[in-house]
Structure 1
Amino acid sequence: MSTESEAGFADFVERWSPALLRVAFLLTGDRWLAEDLLQTALLKTSRRWSRIADHQAACPYVRRVLVTTYASWRRRHRASEVLTDQLPEHLPADGAEVELGRAVAALDALPPRMRAVIVLRYYEDLSEADTAAALGCSPGSVKSQASRGLARLRIELSPPALVRPREDAP
């Protein structure tokens, strides 16, 4: 990479890393994994930086690299949980942290493609066409994945049903 190109890439990284890190976090549900994902995506982008025509509009390219790299990681590391016989200690969380945790857990329960559609459409506020371009699919696929994903999130995040006492109970 030339010095001018390096400077342009460094400017891009400095400007867009916080926003891209948020997308990576919503995709992975884990801060440290999100940082690794973003670093990998930026490394892949740096290798192609000279081929990107409009450096100011490189964010959609990096977003697509994030999504495809995340999907690849998810396929490779499906069972990465470590089983243990002791529960970790958790500090009591306030209501907002609990709700955020529930939302991230609900997002994590979605398949990778559906999760990517939800994150790009509703967090990144991309149009159906832009989301389709980022994922390399049709706008109709984006619509159906978004519809199914939102339905699953509504079910997952709905308050638990109240249990009614039985009529014949004393």
Structure 2
Amino acid sequence: MTAWPFDTDAKRNDPLTVLRIPVVTSFKPRWKYIAAYIDVDTSKYSWGSTERPTDAEAEMIGSFIEEYKHHWFRESYHRKLAERPLDVDSGCNTTIFIKYGPDDWGYRRCSWEHGPLFVPSGPTLRGTKHEYAKNAGPLSLEQVMDLCHTVSEEPMPHWLKWKADHSEIFPATPKES
């Protein structure tokens, strides 16, 4: 069996790993993945979840990783990344996704030192003084990904174009009125 360099961070035999999605057990993994899904023991941590991504959501996370590579890296570096079973880069600020429940997602960046653990806050914090109310949940995975790509009010054009170009993964939804 080939050595697994990510033993301290990512589950080797998780079905998402086949899709190059690291499944981490800590909100501060040692490796700098482009993005990851967190699977935590809910008996130890109140912010955890027993929910798993659906097949469609797993495709979205995989596409999120591909968009990052497409936007930031040259094709020659894509080939270098492909030499490992998961996409890691020393310059990445890992985005970690958490699923609280059906159509109820959050994310965090590994560089965050202050503020909320995940945005939006998990269900146990909603409606309390500890909720991060600026982006209240629940939010779908796509809404959370839009939030990841938002600097001011709207998601960045390169992300919107990516979603439009990959409508089989991100089907157009009518805007809320």
Q: Specify the TM-score bucket, using the shorter chain as the normaliser.
A: 0.3 to 0.5
Give the structure with the larger helix fraction.
1
Q: TM-score, normalised by structure 1?
A: 0.33
> Going by fraction, where is strand more abundant, 1 or 2?
2
